[in-house]
A and B are shown apart, each in its own frame.
Chain A
Amino acid sequence: ETGVTQTPRHLVMGMTNKKSLKCEQHLGHNAMYWYKQSAKKPLELMFVYNFKEQTENNSVPSRFSPECPNSSHLFLHLHTLQPEDSALYLCASSPFYGTGKLEAFFGQGTRLTVV
């Protein structure tokens, strides 16, 4: 148990569906992240929020829309996804963004399958 909880753990959605992934941390951290993990590829950083403000968006398609209502919660809203978006989506948090030696704590991930 890392203190970062993601729901749901598994999600199957059609290409025309709208769904949301949720991430919650009670570690008192101020930075939260979304990563995409695809088979045989390095983890891809998607979004970073620091003190509820989005600080990074690594050229992610607009069909992925993040939301960070407070420092403890992070959402990823999904709309009209493609089959190639099927992957494990990992949420992480760290005390601050911009301090390189502080490691990130990861949730267990949401396994997303787009059909």
Chain B
Amino acid sequence: AQSVTQLGSHVSVSEGALVLLRCNYSSSVPPYLFWYVQYPNQGLQLLLKYTSAATLVKGINGFEAEFKKSETSFHLTKPSAHMSDAAEYFCAVSDQDGNDMRFGAGTRLTVKP
């Protein structure tokens, strides 16, 4: 069964700094990969997804992620953090049948002024 590991349960950056949230996956078949964001007291909202087209995926709010098969990674980045980016971010993986989407434990992003 596939799984994801998010390295770092808490990441803190200064406003304007690079955001890098790490996600590594494990899957015996080509995966579909997702990043979701959860703001306080809200549900999860899709940021971006990889579905075997371009390996560099652009999402909403200036985020992007790159699928690297050799590293089994799908790290999320944003060149310049904004205060409004403070939230919890979840990486998820599903197989091509979509029968089992697995989420990581989440990374809480704090943005300092």
Contacts and interface: CB of A to CB of B under 8 A. Distances in A.
Contact of A2 (B43, B52, B90, B104): B43
B28 interface: no
Interface in A88-115: 90, 92, 94, 96-109, 111
Nearest to B99: A98
B15 interface: no
B43 A90 contact: yes
Contacts of A2: 43, 45
A40 B100 CA distance: 21
A99 B9 CA distance: 29
B51 interface: yes
Given A100-B94, A100-B96, A102-B98, A43 B103 contact: yes
A4 interface: yes
B90 A98 contact: no
A103 to B, nearest CB: 5
Interface string B42-59: 111110010110000000
Contacts of A108: 41-43
A87 B106 CA distance: 15
Interface residues of A, number: 28
Does more than half of chain B's interface fall in helix, strand or loop, or is it mixed? loop
B102 interface: yes
A61 interface: no
B11 interface: no
Interface in A1-47: 2, 4, 6, 9, 40-43, 45
Given A96-B98, A101-B32, A103-B46, 10 more contacts: A42-B102, A42-B103, A42-B106, A97-B99, A98-B97, A100-B94, A101-B94, A101-B98, A105-B46, A106-B44
11 contacts: A2-B43, A9-B41, A42-B104, A96-B98, A98-B97, A100-B51, A100-B95, A100-B96, A101-B96, A103-B49, A105-B46
